[in-house]
Amino acid sequence: MSDEIAYATIAELGARYRKRDLSPVEVTQALLARIEKLDPILHAFVTLTADSALAEARSAEEALRRGDARPLLGIPVAHKDIYLTRGVRTTGGSALLADWIPDEDATCVQRWRAAGTVQLGKLITHEFAFGLQFPGHRFPPAKNPWNLDHIPGGSSSGSGAALAAGLVTGATGSDTGGSIRGPAAFCGIVGLKPTYGRSSRAGVLTLSWTLDHTGPMARTVQDCAFLLQPLAGYDPADPASSRAPVDDYVAPLGRDIRGLKIGVPRAYFLEEVDAEVARAFEEALETLRRLGAEVRDVQIPSLRGAHSFLLILMAEAYAYHESDIREHPELYGDVLRERILAGALVTASEYTQAQRIRAEICRETAEVLKTVDVLASPTALKPATPFAQAFDPEFAFPKSNMAPFNLTGLPTLALPCGFSASGLPVSFQLSGRPFEEATVLRAGHAYEQATTWHTRRPPV
């Protein structure tokens, strides 16, 4: 199959379907063949659902013949393997759930299914969205299509690898501390963490109740907008779900960004950033200026306490896993087991103080967002980490440019803005006010249309 089809956008596929010069069955068959060829190298998929995918593609063809105009009809997607899928194995990337077959779909799976997508299968995740699979694990980790010696980012590792390699058109991810945006940054794709409560978490394995987000991953900003549309909206099955009105995320993308105010919180986000990342970020800001945006520096002093994120994450992860890790500690990876058990050491006082710091970060960020429309920052401090470094048990959690937007719950879009000298992708992120995904997407789309980074393809 030609790369033209493997890397086609949702709009391109939809237009060709309706002109009858390409069909969902042809695309599904071609992608399944591509997966068969490349996935033994990449390990992006845990479970491939070829038979049901072809059946769904045939149903999509019938609907197209009847004039069905759903934008996602016949679009091939796959789900991160912490999303429950009825009748299809859901492992969480863990030996504990290696053979578990749920009897229900996650709400996001239901909504994409109702939108007419074709589900190709389940994509590997870091174990329980928290721990990279070390050598000897039940499941091998996904590899980065840009350089197989580097990780694709986590925890939505299979989603990032599959999209970059042209194995799927869209994928779900989850983001507790950057797990949508990290793989987007490392794999040269686009990932959107919506506002906390915008996209349902019902039927998605929990890592941290107050930090978890679900959202779409794709290769273009417009594709993310198409994929978000059916995901957004109230779900009574998720206690954090919001009743805020759902915007049209696709229609505003064509508008320019003249006069859009973009704030840059340098005092936190540019500290410890690799020189190549910083250079690419400054060039991205210059492009936004040329497009008519007003870019200026802003201050969020409380971000110096953003490390409190780890206390919240570890305490809540332990609370969720406490029973299973006591009964079956041997089924957890060694490093993940240590991380989760460390959460038992977080005191009530420490957890409370961390939430107080979080509240101050939220307050100050909200004040800044009264003066600007969007915040811009590098997504990751460095390009993708080598496996040799990631597999070192002493490799500590690095400072995170992504975690502050899990603390605040703000919508944040990661998109490519360059490459390192070694050929690895570089990314920046745009964050907006609560439930203003449309603004963030419009700004990202304007930048994307003015550059060509998203058109590059890895050497697989």
Catalytic residue, chosen from 23, 155, 157, 200, is 155
Question: How does residue 264 score in pLDDT terms, banded at 50, 70 and 90?
Answer: very high
Read off the pLDDT band of 269 (50, 70, 90).
Answer: very high
Q: State the residue for tokens 């071609």.
A: 30
In this predicted structure, the answer to whether residue 1 has a pLDDT above a threshold of 60 is no
| CATH code of the region 3-455 | 3.90.1300.10
Give me the catalytic one of 80, 122, 143, 382: 80
Residue 139 pLDDT: 97
The chain-wide mean pLDDT, for the chain, equals 97
Q: Is 122 a catalytic residue?
A: no
The runs of H, that is alpha helices, within 194-269 are: 221-231, 266-269
Catalytic residue chosen out of the listed positions 23, 157, 179, 208: 179
Give the residue-averaged pLDDT of 135-164: 97
Catalytic, 261? Answer no
What interhelical angle do 308-327 and 348-368 show, nearest 10? 140
Residue with tokens 């197209």: 64
CA nearest neighbour of 376 among 276, 447, 460: 447
Of 411, 436, 426, whose CA–CA distance to 456 is shortest? 426
**Residue 155 known to be catalytic:** yes
| The two three-digit tokens of residue 81, written as one number | 């393997």
In the chain, where are the structural domains located? Answer: 3-455
Better-predicted residue by pLDDT, 166 or 394: 166
Query: Is pTM, for the whole model, over 0.95?
Result: yes
| Residue ranges in 248-386 assigned as alpha helix (H) | 266-269, 275-290, 308-327, 334-342, 348-368
